[in-house]
Chains A and B, each alone.
Chain A
Amino acid sequence: MPAHDVLIIGAGLAGQRAALAAAEAGATVAILSKVHPVRSHSNAAAGGINAALNPDDSWESHAFDTVKGSDYLGDQDAIEIMCREAPDEVLQLEHWGVTFHRNPAGLLGTRAFGGASAARTYYVADITGQALLHVLYEQLMRFHEKIDRYEEWFVTSLLQDDEGNCTGAIARNIRDGSLQTFDAKATILASGGAGQCFKPTTNALICTGDGIAQAYRMGAPLMDMEMIQYHPTTLAGNGILITEGARGEGAHLYNAQGERFMEKYAPNKMELASRDVVSRSEQTEINEGRGFPDGTVALDITKVPRKRTLEALREIVNIGRDFAGVDITREPIHIKPGCHYIMGGVKTDVHGATSIPGLYAAGEVACVSVHGGNRLGANSLLDTLIFGRRAGEHAAQIARSMAMPAADRSRVEDEQRSMDAIIARDKSGRRVSEIKDELGEMMNDKVAVFRDEAGLQEAHEMIKRLKEEAQVAYIDDHGTVFNQDVLGAIELGYMLDCAECIVMGAIERKESRGAQFRTDFPERNDDEWLKHIDLTANGGDTPKVSYSPVTITKWQPMERTY
């Protein structure tokens, strides 16, 4: 039976960074992921990583931009830590071998990004996330003697002892279907977001909220779950992302009448206002009939010199060509707001610790909260690395003074029985894929850029029905080797838990802040709602709601204009 000081679930940037930090601190480490680490969704973060590394810049400026971007819902103590530690983290990555863009002097060069008052985004063409992920994986291979990798293992549940401590996880080896207990003194969830609750979404098919739901089921509170970021530039049919880097490089947005409409909504920052603002502006144009017939507006990258586009935005040149049939260096491309990121997640402190002893969370699965109501572009890579590292260090440290737990082996048998039961379901119910599609389309309809009470209540009713249907939903694959079907059924359960919390948070927050815009409560209301909404599992019932204060250090809430 594998037993490690620190078990990390998920091998994107947060997980890999946590593994490297924990190993460096002397812990024995296992990192486990349902896909090969380099397939992780961190790949998708194209534009860059923010850090106030330039002598003219300051971490305070970065922190203020982040606080303002969060619509004052971000916890300022956590934001300060993130922004203060950002420069060293970027240098660490550079020393590990990330091929960051240089300026002519050979020093790190930057690009502009949304919501930022200085150009502080460090980047590798428009494959920054990919480059970071692959370089961290190089380091994982390098330290293979200290870090055990379990690639293509799927966590079915977390383990908890009688005192309520998290003691590891049970996982299925996707390759042969066997179940295994992983004992661990500390477990770090780094399994990413839940974008697949929406359809379409920019998120990969693997982003099914596994870790959020696993922690929730164990009793850990979720926070800010209503805060779903709609990215301003996604392709209409399939939700594929066009990086904010395009606007950072100078691309403009136009409605069908050829108006550069951001002049109306954000006269100063224009296209580089924060994402919630730009997405709402676009959706307003579309809703009021000034969009194109396919429900889109136009992103014009021809403003950027062609040579620069080919060098710095190569990936979206390919995406435009391959997924929309458009040469973005010569003509505008039609885009719309699309589900992109969940600011909320498992509530943690600044060390990544959740309220469950022995359980940590870092990256998109977690909510520290540094993003509050709206995440700034190029802050997510930073979040994964800073809090991944902090979680890894802290977990390694507490592991030093602990004995290795040993989970009750009968748990594996229970788990095996419940998996067998899914595989054995008769075909009287619905197909898993059908329920997933219905959920995604509904969420994208009722829990999107603009929300209201009636729509959210309908959404909640629907989720309750889908949850019942999911209990008896059937699958086709009865095998053990790469049975992706049975994993899909388990993921559907995770997604439905996440979706319910997203909707509950949105119903609860009766104001408009950051990504949450309630047409029935269109104003921000600091008197009543400058607080986090925490949701805790309540048996099989609707989650229990409580509140926690927003930590404010230096920056009092102000009106937010761009």
Chain B
Amino acid sequence: MPDYTLKIRRYSPETGESAYWEEFQVELDEHRSVLDGILQAKDRTDGSIGIRCSCRAAICGSCGVRINGRPGLACHMHLGVAQKSSKDGQTIVVEPMGNMPVLKDLIVDMDAVHWKKIRRVTPWLLPDGPPPEREYVVPMESMVDVTQTMACIQCGACVSDCLSMEVDPLFIGPAALAKAYRFVGDPRDGQQFERLKDLAEDPHGIYDCTHCFNCIEACPKGVAPMNQIMRLRRIAGSDHKIEDRNNGLRHEKAFVKNIEKNGVLAEADLLPDSYGGKFHPRAVPELIDSLPVILRALMRGKVTPKALLPHKFPDQKQIRRIYDTVHDRDERFELNLYIVGKDEDEDGDGDSRSSGNDPGTAQGSPGSSPPERSPNT
């Protein structure tokens, strides 16, 4: 059986020493998980290695860690794959998740961050009035839809690598906002507007996400938290017309218009447009307020001076076509984990993983409902 080297970040609050790295050799089949490796090191070499773990099957969400710098479940990553993806092709580096304080070794304080944020979104169903005598009658698709967020196992991997949370620790964050969608998208809940209003008006709410996709990549269960955040925005903005005080909705609209007009982002127009146009009374003070940010972005090369000049994508027809196609739709297309297109696509894709963990390709519409096989119907 092959040997693997695990380099584990160790920390004990009791010794008074700072964190350090320690290497362990383990001997296991390449298909066994990094968790199995850590447990072997714990069993055979050093029982004091701290890691939360329970199910070993990626369902309990205990063993969130960073492996070779990327967040995920230790039980969900093969040793062989982890070794290949390591920096030197040899040493598998395991460290605690980010954005949360470390308690010991690989164990982080999820209460202080993750669960506090979950509680922030009023995480329970609030129906209007007393329940019916039997079940609530709701469309099949809506249950399948919110089941995508029920698939969340609260492992914290998305929280670990949320870039927005890194700069704004008060950001409600991907896991809690995905949880919020679980109620907003649930037709049994009677507080859709109130929930959305609350999350839109909160300066650390739905408009605090910067679309970096880290949470989507981090999630071991295909919950795609960022997609859920975007759906919260769409329902808040398009359905409830919630104009938030953070200017989130207007910024989003300005962004869409900006691209429609130029094909590529014209940074110079974006900010004033977000505040109602260059001549809007609020635009000038906002622009002045934002100057330090703009200057910093210029200095760090995030924005080039050229970007501030007017520029356009050469082929405007292509842009037009995209916008026309989207505008012509009667209903919004939403991605969903559980509704995965038609059986006939079987021969087409040739790669089953496209309908597996990658929600980006798991495309379908609420209209393409799966066949009901219940003998009771």
Contact = CB atoms under 8 A, between A and B. Distances in A.
Interface stretch (A219-227, A274-282, A300-308, A409-417): A300-308
B377 A108 contact: no
A119 B12 contact: no
Interface string B125-141: 10100010011111110
Given A102-B140, A104-B372, A138 B123 contact: yes
Contacts of B153: 38, 43, 130
Nearest to B152: A134
Interface in A272-316: 305-308, 310-312, 314-315
Contacts of B55: 39, 41, 43-44, 204-205
A99 B147 contact: yes
B103 A175 contact: yes
A119 B376 contact: yes
Contacts of A307: 340-343, 370-371
A172 to B, nearest CB: 15
B376 A318 contact: no
Interface string B148-184: 0011111000000000000000000000000000110
A99 B186 contact: yes
Given A107-B137, A433-B44, A311 B144 contact: yes
Contacts, number: 227
A330 B183 CA distance: 35
A305 B150 contact: no
A43 B56 CA distance: 12
B373 A308 contact: yes
Kindly name the residue among B118, B134, B139 whose own CB sees the greatest number of chain A CB atoms within 10 A: B134
B3 interface: no
Given A104-B369, A206-B54, A488-B47, A131 B374 contact: no
Interface string A318-331: 11011111010110
A104 B12 contact: no
A116 to B, nearest CB: 11
B150 A103 contact: no
Contacts of A35: 52, 54, 60, 62
Contacts of A204: 54-56, 60
Interface in A45-101: 54, 56, 91, 94-97, 99-101
A105 B137 contact: yes
A125 interface: yes
A36 B125 CA distance: 21
Contact of A99 (B14, B56, B150, B352): B150
A110 interface: yes
A204 B186 CA distance: 31
A477 B371 contact: no
Interface stretch (B104-112, B271-279, B316-324, B327-335): B104-112
A479 B374 contact: no
Contacts of A36: 62, 110
B125 A96 contact: yes
Nearest to A329: B352
B353 interface: yes
Contacts of A125: 144, 147, 151, 338
B191 interface: no
Given A106-B137, A110-B374, A484-B50, A138 B13 contact: no
Nearest to A321: B356
Contacts of B124: 96-97, 138-139, 141-142
B135 A131 contact: no
Contact of A479 (B48, B338, B376): B48
A124 interface: yes
B48 A43 contact: no
Interface in A449-481: 475-481
Given A95-B131, A240-B57, A307-B342, A432 B47 contact: yes
Interface size of A as a range: 35 or more
Contacts of A105: 137, 377
A421 B167 CA distance: 47
Contacts of A138: 123-125
A134 B153 CA distance: 8
B146 interface: yes
Given A311-B340, A477-B48, A103 B60 contact: no
Given A44-B55, A54-B376, A308-B371, A94 B136 contact: yes
Contacts of B59: 43-44, 127, 130, 315
B370 A308 contact: yes
A238 B56 contact: yes
A327 to B, nearest CB: 5
Contacts of A99: 143, 146-147, 150, 182, 186
B46 interface: yes
A83 B88 CA distance: 58
Interface in B81-138: 103-105, 107, 110-111, 118-119, 123-125, 127, 131, 134-138
B74 interface: no
Interface in B201-257: none
Given A35-B52, A105-B377, A318-B356, A325 B150 contact: no
Nearest to A143: B124
B375 interface: yes
B68 interface: no
Given A91-B135, A94-B135, A97-B125, A322 B58 contact: yes
B61 A323 contact: no
B222 to A, nearest CB: 8
B43 interface: yes
Contacts of B144: 101, 125, 311
Contact of A109 (B12, B111, B338, B374): B374
B346 interface: yes
B49 to A, nearest CB: 9
B340 A482 contact: no
B116 to A, nearest CB: 11
Contacts of B262: none
A318 B151 CA distance: 12
Nearest to A102: B140
Contact of A119 (B62, B105, B188, B374): B374
Interface in B359-377: 369-377
Contacts of A325: 31
A281 to B, nearest CB: 24
Given A134-B150, A205-B54, A321-B353, A39 B135 contact: no
B375 A110 contact: yes
A103 B131 CA distance: 20
Interface in A104-141: 104-112, 118-119, 124-125, 127, 130-131, 134, 138-139, 141
A91 B182 CA distance: 19
A260 interface: no
Kindly name the residue among A95, A307, A477 whose own CB sees the greatest number of chain B CB atoms within 10 A: A307
A151 interface: yes
A479 B76 contact: no
A432 B154 CA distance: 31
Nearest to A434: B43
A101 B60 CA distance: 22
B374 A103 contact: yes
A317 interface: yes
A30 B87 CA distance: 47
11 contacts: A38-B154, A39-B61, A44-B55, A109-B140, A110-B374, A237-B32, A249-B373, A308-B373, A319-B57, A327-B352, A431-B47
Interface of B: 12-14, 29, 31-32, 36, 42-44, 46-48, 50, 52-62, 76, 78, 103-105, 107, 110-111, 118-119, 123-125, 127, 131, 134-140, 143-144, 146-147, 150-154, 182-183, 186, 188-189, 337-343, 346, 352-353, 355-357, 369-377
Of all A-B residue pairs in the complex, the 8 with the closest CB atoms, nearest first, are: A97-B125, A477-B48, A433-B43, A476-B47, A485-B47, A95-B131, A102-B140, A138-B124
